[in-house]
Structure 1
Amino acid sequence: MDDRQLFFGIGERIRQLRTERGISQQDLAALCDFEKSNMSRIESGKTNLTLKNMYKISRALGVRLSELVDFE
């Protein structure tokens, strides 16, 4: 798996978890103290997330951090 596939997989997993919980992209961004545009880039796999930001997202979604990378 290359970097692009990894970023895309994590982004798709975040989108899946967010939509399962009925949270808008704007609301998730606000919960994480991100701009909506940043959340959009994350979900589309166009950015390399830091561990700190992945942790913020996992907390906002109410999941374990490991669930964000569980997409294979």
Structure 2
Amino acid sequence: MPFMYRIASYFIYYDFRWCGMTPRELLAWNIRKLRVERGLSQERLALEAQIERVSISQIERKQVNLGIDSLGKIAQALNCAVSDLLMTPPPGDKMPPVLRPGRKNSK
């Protein structure tokens, strides 16, 4: 398995260089995009992922490095694969909009 991991790491690294985004920027982009698409507030996502709300805010503002356990919790709360959080956005894709302030409906 280490060989496959190295190959996967190479392709992920290559993909990051291709899109001009760092891994931290990709995580921030995708977490925010998926959260907004699902209509979740940062508070609701944090609650479902069992992490602090301020952590979601810091991740989306690219201020912290995300641990692998937290990454897994967020992916599970967003009902997606961890790899989806590292997908490169299509060329020309715009940053997801900010949800309007206030409490969101839980789904």
For normalisation by structure 2, the TM-score amounts to 0.60
CA RMSD for the aligned pairs?
A: 1.7
Do structure 1's residue 61 and structure 2's residue 72 form an aligned pair?
Answer: no
**Where does residue 24 of structure 1 map in the other structure?**
41
27-36 or 54-63, which deviates more: 27-36
Moved over 2 A (4+): none
Between the aligned partners of 1:63 and 1:15, the Cα distance in structure 2 is 13
Aligned pair count reads: 71
Deviations 1:8-36 (A, max 9, x none): 22111100000001111110011111221
Identity of aligned residues (%): 32
Between the aligned partners of 2:41 and 2:86, the Cα distance in structure 1 is 21
Q: Which has the larger radius of gyration?
A: 2
Structure with the higher helix share, 1 or 2: 1
The CA deviation at 1:70 is 0.6
Higher relative contact order (CA 8 A, sep 6+): 1
Give the secondary structure class of the aligned counterpart of 1:49.
Answer: coil
Gapped runs of 5+ residues in structure 1?
A: none
**Contact 1:9-1:71 within 8 A present in 2 as well:** yes
For normalisation by structure 1, the TM-score amounts to 0.87
